Amino acid sequence: MSINSSLPKALNLNVLPVYAKGITGRNVRVAVLDDGIEYDHEDLVQNYDPQISWNYNEDNSDPYPKPDDDDSSHGTRCAGEIAMMANNKKCGVGIAYNSRIGCIKMLGGLVYDLLEGSSLGFALDKVDIYSSSWGPMDNGQTMEAPGIFAKEALARGVVLGRKGLGSIYVWASGNGRKKGDNCNCDGYAASIYTITIGSADDKGRGAWYSEKCASVMTVTYSSGNDSDQMISTTDVGNSCTVQHTGTSASAPLAAGIIALALEANPKLTWRDVQHIIVRSATREPLTKGDDWHKNGAGLFYSTKLGFGLMDADALVNLAQRWKTVPKQKIDKVNGSLIENPSQTNSQKIIFNYTDKTIRHLEHVQVIITATCQYRGALELFLSSPSGTQTAILDRRPRDYFAGNCFDSWPFMSVATWSENPYGQWQLDIRDTTPLVMKQNIRSIGFVQLVLYGTTHAPSSLIFP
Ligand SMILES: [Ca+2]
Ligand SMILES: [Ca+2]
Ligand SMILES: [Ca+2]
């Protein structure tokens, strides 16, 4: 295949065996939610799909980026990673180079809840995958959830999108790692409806900017240090760049790989897609010194790298033989605070799950309300009955917020995927402030554990 020679190394997430099967993203429609797309770009024009494109900033059907503005190149760069054409001697090859690409322009102006909600629900009957590389400020002190409209749009998308199979929302984990940010403080990334994507560098480590948190599901390669390789893609002005970077570059790569899986098996539901990513991601190229833990179901997980690097061939193979998972069940358990007067700056909360409705876990949330004096000093650890301990919040030294520190905030974790949740769960709230500042945690209100999963294991796992 002539595309082999032009495929940049950083984009090689084991996609070549998939192309050899003739799978290239055909009939799959991907929309990037971004600052526009140069749809007449030579390497995009053929795959551009106006039906899945809109400009919410100016409220018209033309999502062209602001002309002569290099700062409006983000959407065009992301789109190229997914759908650059093959064999045309221009720029490079998109991961799903025969998919249809659109842009929902919404980062070209003031961003507000109604605009986000409209964007996340645009052309719900046509878009298969929405790729988002945006969210709250990555400054290590913001804690922000989607507003009413955005939240509603995500919940509706997974029910009504793709003719009831559910829209696929791909989300960048964020670039705030250097500022101590944690993507579980970003309610978009922490949503169970979004597939949260981090970045690995070409040395096989979590990239220096890539935020960690327990809702990171998987990683793709992106840029590393300045001297390392960056991502090649289309750029505005009908040009090409070799300098696309950050988790912004990782999410579209994941969207492209998922497009290949959807061509291989168009019947996958939004939850099927998450299951097959968990099972096909590979830890092998990423073993250098990151925080891997084996969970109670035998799956390795890291809050930096999720279940590992996406492997397109393994994902597509699993997609082809995957049978739809049973209906999602949800169970809730209220926590009880275990008083520990000798250690006022560390609290323990217990949840006893004695129901047998869910025996095969997917997502877990801890919803917590608490007041404190220095939010960034708090760390939250969740332990499952199988003994898996996961940091659902790391300390964020720059977050000096005091007051209603957690206001029914849902901390999400995928670390216990496929475990049996029956038994005792424990939440440890640890305060890392120096002893001079006593009693950081002022009060703990309602705390609840929410379990998502199924009674029976997915049949594709029982009879592989
Ligand atoms: Ca090309
Ligand atoms: Ca962030
Ligand atoms: Ca997520």
Q: From the CA of 132, which ligand is nearest?
A: 3
3-state secondary structure of 257: helix
Q: How confident is the model at residue 3 (pLDDT cuts 50, 70, 90)?
A: very low
User: Could you give the CA distance from residue 22 to residue 438 in angstroms, rounded to a whole number?
Assistant: 63
Residues 6+ apart with CB under 8 A from 22: none
Q: From the CA of 139, which ligand is nearest?
A: 2
**Mean pLDDT on 414-424:** 98
pLDDT digits 0-9 by tens, 50-84: 999 999 999 999 999 988 776 899 999 999 999 99
Instruction: Count Cβ atoms below 10 Å from residue 16 Cβ, excluding itself.
Output: 14
- Tell me what pLDDT residue 10 has: 42
CA 129 to centroid of ligand 1, rounded, Å:
21
**Mean pLDDT on 153-160:** 98
Both structure tokens of 444: 């703990």
Q: Which of 167, 248, 250, 418 is catalytic?
A: 248
* Catalytic residue flag (residue 363): no
Both structure tokens of 51: 């039906």
Q: Are residues 159 and 233 in the same domain?
A: yes
CA 230 to centroid of ligand 2, rounded, Å:
21
* Catalytic residue flag (residue 456): no
Q: Round to the nearest angstrom and report the end-to-end CA distance of the chain.
A: 32
Instruction: Count Cβ atoms below 10 Å from residue 326 Cβ, excluding itself.
Output: 15
Q: Are residues 137 and 262 in the same domain?
A: yes
Q: Answer with the one of 278, 296, 321 that is the final residue of a domain.
A: 321
pLDDT of 245 above 90: no
User: Could you give the CA distance from residue 450 to residue 412 in angstroms, rounded to a whole number?
Assistant: 9
Domain count of the fold of the chain: 2
pLDDT digits 0-9 by tens, 342-381: 666 789 999 999 999 999 999 999 999 999 999 999 999 9
Q: Are residues 286 and 405 in the same domain?
A: no
Q: Are residues 79 and 135 in the same domain?
A: yes
CA 120 to centroid of ligand 3, rounded, Å:
14
Task: Report the predicted TM-score, pTM, of the whole model to 2 decimal places.
Answer: 0.95
Q: Are residues 44 and 79 in the same domain?
A: yes
- Tell me what pLDDT residue 335 has: 97
Q: From the CA of 240, which ligand is nearest?
A: 1
pLDDT of 276 above 80: yes
Q: Would strands 403-413 and 360-372 be described as parallel, antiparallel, or unpaired?
A: antiparallel
Task: Please state, for a pLDDT cut of 70, what percent of the chain lies above it.
Answer: 94
- Tell me what pLDDT residue 285 has: 87
Q: Are residues 315 and 333 in the same domain?
A: no
Q: Are residues 136 and 18 in the same domain?
A: yes
Q: Would strands 29-34 and 129-132 be described as parallel, antiparallel, or unpaired?
A: parallel
* Catalytic residue flag (residue 74): yes
Q: Are residues 369 and 306 in the same domain?
A: no
Tell me how many degrees the CA angle 204-206-211 measures, rounded to the nearest 5. 160
Q: Which of 41, 74, 244, 360 is catalytic?
A: 74
CA 131 to centroid of ligand 3, rounded, Å:
12
User: Could you give the CA distance from residue 57 to residue 217 in angstroms, rounded to a whole number?
Assistant: 31
CA 175 to centroid of ligand 3, rounded, Å:
15
Q: How confident is the model at residue 315 (pLDDT cuts 50, 70, 90)?
A: very high
Tell me how many degrees the CA angle 254-458-160 measures, rounded to the nearest 5. 60
User: Could you give the CA distance from residue 230 to residue 202 in angstroms, rounded to a whole number?
Assistant: 9
Q: From the CA of 216, which ligand is nearest?
A: 3
**Mean pLDDT on 211-240:** 87
Q: Are residues 44 and 183 in the same domain?
A: yes
User: Could you give the CA distance from residue 47 to residue 84 in angstroms, rounded to a whole number?
Assistant: 8
Q: How confident is the model at residue 29 (pLDDT cuts 50, 70, 90)?
A: very high
Q: Are residues 394 and 435 in the same domain?
A: yes
Q: From the CA of 8, which ligand is nearest?
A: 1
Q: Are residues 110 and 232 in the same domain?
A: yes
Q: How confident is the model at residue 404 (pLDDT cuts 50, 70, 90)?
A: very high
pLDDT of 228 above 70: no
**Mean pLDDT on 320-342:** 91
- Tell me what pLDDT residue 160 has: 98
Which CATH number goes with the domain that contains 245?
3.40.50.200
CA 243 to centroid of ligand 2, rounded, Å:
22
Q: Are residues 238 and 169 in the same domain?
A: yes
Q: Which of 34, 128, 272, 313 is catalytic?
A: 34
- Tell me what pLDDT residue 437 has: 57
- Tell me what pLDDT residue 4 has: 42
**Exposed/middle/buried for 142, CB within 10 Å: 0-12, 13-18, 19+?**
middle
Q: Answer with the one of 321, 340, 358 that is the final residue of a domain.
A: 321
Task: Please state, for a pLDDT cut of 90, what percent of the chain lies above it.
Answer: 83
Q: Average per-residue pLDDT in the chain?
A: 93
Q: Answer with the one of 302, 321, 340 that is the final residue of a domain.
A: 321
CA 309 to centroid of ligand 1, rounded, Å:
25
* Helix intervals (H) in 37-196: 74-83, 113-120, 148-160
CA 102 to centroid of ligand 1, rounded, Å:
17
User: Residue 419 belongs to what domain range?
Assistant: 329-460
DSSP state of 182: B
Look at the block and give the residue holding tokens 């599901």.
217
Which CATH number goes with the domain that contains 377?
2.60.120.260
- Tell me what pLDDT residue 220 has: 95
pLDDT digits 0-9 by tens, 165-180: 999 999 999 999 999 9
- Give, in order, the Cα–Cα distances in Å from 270 to each of 160, 161, 167: 11, 9, 6
Q: How confident is the model at residue 2 (pLDDT cuts 50, 70, 90)?
A: very low
Q: Are 310 and 277 in contact (CB under 8 A)?
A: yes
Q: Are 197 and 251 in contact (CB under 8 A)?
A: yes
